[in-house]
Structure formats: structure tokens, C-alpha cells
Chain A
Amino acid sequence: MSPRRHHTAGANGRGGSSNGHATSSGASGGRGRFANAVHWGTIVALFVFLAWMVFDEAGFTALLSALVPDQAVVYYPAVPLPTLMAEQLYLVAVASTIALVVGVTLGLLALSRVGKPFRDVIVNLGNLAQTVPTAAVMALAIPATGYGAKPVIIALVLYSILPIMLNVIVGIEGVQPAALDAAIGVGMSPAQRLLLVQLPLAFPVILGGIKNMLVINVSAATIGAIAAAGGLGQPILAGFTRYNTAFIIEGALPAAVLALFLDRLLTIPGWSEPRIGDV
């Protein structure tokens, strides 16, 4: 379930657009370099921490024992952590790839000649659809597809198509009109305009959508444990039912670090997100 990240870059109901803004241009000054170093350092640190937790069973177990001293069994016995992590990544990767392809396609369709009449409806529907919790979609998919990875992936895909699609629409609509006019004026075909001018300029916003999607999917995949899809949610839920705090942390900590890692990885330092929501 992802209670947040519903805010895509200012998607507007009826043909509006918002402008993202880069707060720093070409951060090559001294302060820019420092911020860059901190940024990449954090990413590396998170990755190392995550890898350590997953692969150094003895070490992580020791940490868990230290954090939860009064637990006898601290390491979730049913499934080893690397497997759980693999399941988690599998869910996120498959769902995200499908959602990316479908989302970008739908977004471009909504902007094209064919889809133009539907652009407003699609944006409105997209915003509406984001009010449905992912967990509910997951739950509804279970009777249709049974337990396992399938309902989770279906729910994740359905849900994460929206931020991608909306960000593609808003990103491309937010491209400076003068640049687009010039692109038409120099004689670029619609495809050339899209590839050479519109997509590159919309890229930061679209990347923001991808980042959103990945973070949402990590969170939702964690809940996928209710559908017996495996993943890091499994030890967390087991820990809740068995009153074993160590199990909870064994699942929660890697999940948290994974989400933070992906978030930092896809953040462009210095670029600030456009204002949330349409005003």
C-alpha cells in the first residue's frame, strides 16, 4: 500500500500544465561538487548496507540480536533473506517494466492526434484511480488470479501505470512553447520533435515519475505478503503475528533501505520537483 506519492507533477483536470523548474543549472561550482559527492556517497553507502544485510547472514543476525536482545530466534527461519529479497526485486522489476512500457505508451497516445480528445478524461481518471489503495486492488485480484505473485504484479502494474502516464503527459506539455514552435519551424517531423526536443526536455519530470513508481512498488510489494507472494513483507507479517520483533526488523530494515536507495539513485541533485498538485 502506498499512502503517498499520489502527487504527480501537477496533473491538471482540463488541459492545464505545470512547469518543473531546475533550481541549479550546471552544478559545477564548488558547492555543487560537494552536494554531488554527498549524493553519490549516500547512494553507495545505502547499497553497501543493503548488500551486507542480505548476504552477511551472521552479521545481520548479530545486529538483530543486539537490537532485540530478548528474542531467542532472530532470523526468520522459513525462508532465507536473499530469497525474500529476490522475490521482492522480482515483483518490483516485473511490475515496473510493464508499467513503464504501458504508461509511456498511454501517455504518448493521450498527447497524440488520435488520443487528444481523451487527454482530459485520462488525466482525470488517472487522478481518480489513485484514490483506490493498492492493497485493495491486490485483494480484488486474488479471487480472479489466485494467490502468489500474479495478483500482486497485476495490482502493482495497474497502479503504477498512473504516475508514469501522468508524468509523461505533464512533462511533455510543460516543454517551453518557444522550443516546440522552433522545432516545428525548422522542419522536424512529429517523431523527430518528440525524440530530439520534447522527450529530452520532459525527461526530468518523467524520471521523477519513474522514481515515484519504483518507491510505490517497493512499498506495495511488501504488502504483497498478504497474497503469499513472498518478499520482504513475509517476515514482517510473521513478526506481527508471532510477536517477534526481530523478524519484523529483518524484513522492515532491508525494505526501507531498498526504497531509500532507489529514491536517491533516481534523484537528479539540484533539480527540485515541480509544485505538487494543480492549483
Chain B
Amino acid sequence: MVESVRDTKSQARVVAVAGSLLGIATILAPSFVIFRANRIVNGQPASAMAAFGAWGWVLLGMWVLAGALALTRLPYKWRGLAVGLLGGGAAVVATWRAGVTAAQYFAEKGDVARLSLGWAFWVMLLASYLVVFAASAWTPYGASRALVSYAPAVGVLVLLFGGSLASISIMREYAINAADFWAQLRLQLFYVLGATSLGFLIGMPLGLIAARRPATEPAIFTTLNILEVLPVLAFIGLLNPILTNLSEKSPALQAMGVRGVGWAPVLIVLTAYAMYPIARNSYTAMTTLDPAVLDAARGVGMKRFRRLFEVELPLAAPVILAGLRIALVQTTAGAIIAGLVGGGGLGTFVFLGAAQTATDLILLGTIPIVVMALFFDRGTRMVQMFLGRWGVAS
């Protein structure tokens, strides 16, 4: 309604200013980057002002300007673009300078020296997020909003693939583990796509059956709920004897690598977890279809199967997709557990890093997981929006 749209835009101002102030604080805060003699010692923290020299002032200026512009009465579109690009740009510039400083440090101090990103850096990313979020409320839907929202990410990716970030500690870890990293990443994808696909193949039909025959609903969802509630490590643990047994008895399974530990229990567990949101949403989608539409379909003489595929499923698709989206994001994070039970994946770095108290190794495993999850989230949302044009009974 009229009032609430205006509200959002003026509320965005508060968020933008808050973000800018936070950004300023992080540039001045003591621990933006940390100079370490090697990867184990604690190292010397330094603020962005101290470490980046003149560029520290540039960053400070960007934040101040962003905050100032947010407070003006510029037309929304330009305000949004300016503030958004400044806030997002600050993140990119900071990352770039961190990379450059790291390279210098590296060159000076030798191979084992590390420049790590301090907590102030991560908080600054939060500040950028706040500012970009607010700015995107001001920009109209379309090119300008996309620019504001995605430019920082694109900027960082360009820096990443261009090599300017190569000397930052996390990337050093990557350099050491490069081949392994890609192998583990592939494994992570295998888990995510594999478990979600299986979860979909089993879960969606289950949801449809529960919708068609309400008598089966309690049984189906009670079982799925039990599976869902089981703690992950316990679930894997309980599968251990079963799989060990099966693998001993079947040379075929053994050849595939099915053992009590490893990829097999992890895949089974992840699939079980993925089934729940998919089944639940499939059920809800099918049971909340607009009865008028169904009636019309029956009225024109469509037979059962055609109705299902041509009317019901397309209408239910967005909701089912939402379930799939949840499953994808869950599984991306959940597959981390494979690293603990010999199943590989990016979790390997996380748990190794935990054992060695090497933060950068942990981050090497974590950041790609988060990026992957975001990617799946955005991607499926876009597909959802596209399908939603048919209108669904919400």
C-alpha cells in the first residue's frame, strides 16, 4: 500500500546510515589484517588505516560519503546507486588492498609469512551488506538493482581469479592444497547434487502419495520426521554396523566403496534429511491447489494422469521448488560432516583446520560452502519466480 512502500524507503535510510557508521568503525578498528610470521603464531593485528596507508583514507572517505549521501534527498534511484556502489565498492577496495598488502608482506618476509584477515574485515563485509541491502530498496527493480546487489560480488570474483588475492593467508592455504581442494569441491558437489536428487526422487512421490491418500500421511511424515530429527553423527553411527555388514557380504558394494564409513553413510544420511522439506512441500503444494482450477480440469474431461502432469504439478511447482531449495541449501552445509568420517568434501579442511588450530584452513573449507549455498539459493529462487508466473494457490 502507499504508506508501506514509503516506509520501506525511509527505513532503508536508517539501515544505510547504520551500515556506513559500522563501516567507518571497522576501518579504524584495530584488527583489520593480521601480520603473522607463520601460520601457527598469533601475529600482529593492524587496522586498515595503519596497514593500507593512503588507501585507508580512501576507504574511510568512501564510507563517510556513503553515509552522507544516504542522508540527502537525492532522487531514490541515484541515491541507491551511489550509496550502494560506494558501500559495495568499499568491500572490493578493501579486499584488493588486503591482497596487495599481503603480496608485499609475502615478498618481504618470505614463504611462511601470512597476512590474515582480521575480525574487522569480516564486520566490514557485514557493513557492506547492510548498505547494499538498503541501497537496493531505493533502486528500481531491474538493471540498477542488479548492479548494486551483484557488483561487489563480481568485483571480488574478478580480484580472486585475477590473482591479486593470491597472497592472503586463505589463498596461501589454497595454494598449498590446490589439487586436493578441487577434488574435495567436486566431492562436495557430488554429495549435494546426489543427495538432493535422490531426496527428490523419493521425497516428492512420497509427498504426492500422502496428498492423494490422506490415510498414509501420518505414517509417511512420522517416519520422515524421525529421520530428520536424528543427530547427524548418531545417524551415521547407527548406519555404520549395517553398512559394514552389507559391504562384507557383497563384493559388488565393496567394489563401489561402500563401507561403514566414507561416502556411503554420508550420502544416505544427507538423502534422508533432504527428503523431509521436499516431501513436506510437495504434500502442502498438492493439498492447497485451487479447487476451482481442479474442478475445471475435471470438467473439461481431463483424465487423472494428464491432470497431474498438465495442471496440478505445474501449479504446485513453485512450492515444491521452495522445498527443493531448502533441501539444496541444507545439504550443502550438511555435507561438511563427510570430512569427519572419511568421506572427503570441503569439510576435510574444516576439521583438519580445527585439529591444527589453523583458522585459514577452516575458512578455506567454509567460504566455498557458503558461496555454494548462496548460489543454489539464488538460482532456485530465480527459477521459482519464473514459474510463479502461472500463479499458485498460496
Chain A residues at the B interface, C-beta cutoff of 8 Å:
1-7, 14-15, 67-68, 116-118, 120-121, 124-125, 128, 130-133, 135-136, 138-140, 142-143, 215, 218-219, 222-223, 226-227, 232-233, 236-237, 239-240, 245, 248-249, 251-253, 255-256, 259-260, 263, 273, 275-279
Minimum CB–CB distance from A54 to chain B (whole Å) comes to 15
**Chain B residue at smallest Cβ distance from A247:** B237
A107 → chain B, closest Cβ, in Å? 18
* Residue on A nearest B134 in the bound complex, by CB: A121
Contacting residues, chain A, for B234 (C-beta < 8 A)? 219, 222, 232, 236, 251-253, 255-256, 259
Q: Are A136 and B336 in contact (CB under 8 A)?
A: yes
Task: Choose among A6, A116, A121 the residue that contacts B329 (Cβ–Cβ < 8 A).
Answer: A6
Of the 9-residue stretches B84-92, B151-159, B165-173, B274-282, which lies at the interface with chain A? B274-282
- Neighbouring A residues of B14 by C-beta, 8 Å: 117-118
The dominant DSSP class at the A interface is: helix
> What distance in Å separates the Cβ of B66 from its nearest Cβ neighbour in chain A?
16
CB distance from B380 to the nearest CB of A (A): 10
Judging by beta carbons under 8 Å apart, are A276 and B129 in contact?
A: no
Q: Do residues A249 and B238 form an inter-chain contact, with CB atoms below 8 A?
A: yes
B contact residues around A125 at 8 Å (CB): 126, 129
Q: How far is the CA of A19 from the CA of B12 in the complex (A)?
A: 26
A3-B229 in contact (CB<8A): no
A111 to B129, CA, bound (A): 20
26 contacting pairs across A/B (C-beta < 8 A): A1-B337, A3-B331, A7-B277, A7-B330, A132-B333, A133-B336, A135-B351, A136-B336, A136-B365, A140-B359, A143-B359, A219-B231, A219-B233, A226-B355, A236-B233, A237-B233, A240-B240, A240-B342, A245-B240, A245-B241, A249-B237, A249-B241, A251-B234, A255-B231, A275-B280, A276-B323
B245 to chain A, nearest CB (A): 10
Residue ranges of B at the interface with A (Cβ–Cβ < 8 Å)? 4, 8, 11-15, 18, 126, 129-130, 133-134, 225-226, 228-238, 240-241, 244, 260-261, 269-270, 273, 276-277, 280-281, 284, 318-319, 322-323, 325-326, 329-337, 340-342, 347, 350-351, 353-355, 357-359, 362-363, 365-366, 369-370, 373-374, 377, 384, 388, 392, 394
* B341: A residues at CB distance < 8 A: 240
Contact A4 B334 (CB under 8 A): yes
Given contact pairs A143-B359, A256-B234, enumerate 16 new A-B contacts (beta carbons under 8 Å).
A2-B232, A2-B334, A3-B330, A117-B14, A136-B365, A138-B354, A139-B366, A143-B357, A143-B358, A219-B234, A223-B232, A236-B233, A240-B240, A276-B281, A279-B319, A279-B322
**When chains A and B are docked, how far (Å) is the Cα of A143 from the Cα of B4?**
46
**Chain B residues positioned under 8 Å from A117 (CB to CB):** 11-15
Whether B241 and A67, one on each chain, are in contact in the complex, defined by CB atoms closer than 8 angstroms, is yes
With both beta carbons as reference points, the residue of chain B lying nearest to A226 in the complex is identified as B354
Listed from nearest, the 4 A-B pairs whose CB atoms lie closest are A3-B334, A252-B237, A117-B11, A219-B231
A263:B340 contact, CB within 8 angstroms: no
Contact of A132 among B235, B270, B366 (CB under 8 A): B366
Inter-chain CA distance A132–B15, complex, in Å, is 24
Given A120-B133, A255-B231: A139 in contact with B354 (beta carbons within 8 A): yes
Contact partner, A236, options B237, B244, B330, B374, Cβ 8 Å: B237
User: Residue of A at shortest CB range from B335?
Assistant: A3
Q: Interface majority SS on B: helix, strand, loop or mixed? A: helix
CA gap between A142 and B13 in the complex, in Å: 38
- Nearest chain B CB to A216's CB is how many angstroms away? 9
Q: Give Cα A116–Cα B370 distance, bound, in whole angstroms.
A: 27
Residues of B close to A215: CB separation below 8 A: 229, 231
Which residue in chain B gives the minimum CB-CB distance to A257?
Answer: B234
| Docked-complex contact A252 and B319, CB < 8 angstroms | no
Contact A259 B231 (CB under 8 A): yes
Contacting residues, chain A, for B392 (C-beta < 8 A): 279
In the complex, what residues of A have CB within 8 A of residue B325's CB?
277
Instruction: Count chain A CB atoms within 10 A of each CB in B233, B334, B347, B358 and give the residue with the most.
Output: B233
Q: How far is the CA of A132 from the CA of B333 in the complex (A)?
A: 6
* Min distance, Cβ B258 to any Cβ of chain A, angstroms: 16
Contact B277 A277 (CB under 8 A): yes
Residues of B within 8 A of A240 (CB): 237, 240, 261, 341-342
The residue of chain A having its C-beta at the shortest distance from the C-beta of B17 within the complex is A117
Q: For residue B284, which residues in chain A have a CB less than 8 angstroms away from its CB?
A: 275-276
For the complex, give the distance between the alpha carbons of A245 and B241 in Å: 6
Q: Report yes or no: B15 in contact with A118, Cβ–Cβ below 8 A.
A: yes
Find chain B residues with CB under 8 A from A248 CB: 237-238, 240-241
Q: Which chain A residues border B235 with CB–CB below 8 Å?
A: 252, 256
- The docked-state distance in angstroms from the alpha carbon of A236 to that of B234 is 8
Could you tell me the distance between the alpha carbons of A43 and B336 in the complex, rounded to whole angstroms?
31
Nearest CB to that of B40 among chain A residues? A143
Which residues of A are found within 8 Å of B12, using beta-carbon distances? 117
Collect the chain B residues with CB atoms within 8 Å of residue A219's CB: 230-234
Nearest CB in chain B: distance from A250 CB, A: 9
- CB-contact partner of B370 in A1, A132, A142, A277, under 8 A: A132
Distance between B218 CB and nearest chain A CB, rounded to angstroms: 8
Residues of A near B373 (CB, < 8 A) are: 131
Taking the closest CB of chain B, its distance from the CB of A204, in whole angstroms, is 16
Q: A6-B330, A67-B241, A218-B231 are in contact. Are A135 and B322 (CB under 8 A)?
A: no
Contact across chains for A131 and B374 when beta carbons are under 8 A apart: yes
On whether the beta carbons of A135 and B337 are closer than 8 Å, the reply is yes
B336's contact among A6, A67, A135, A259, by CB below 8 Å, is which? A135
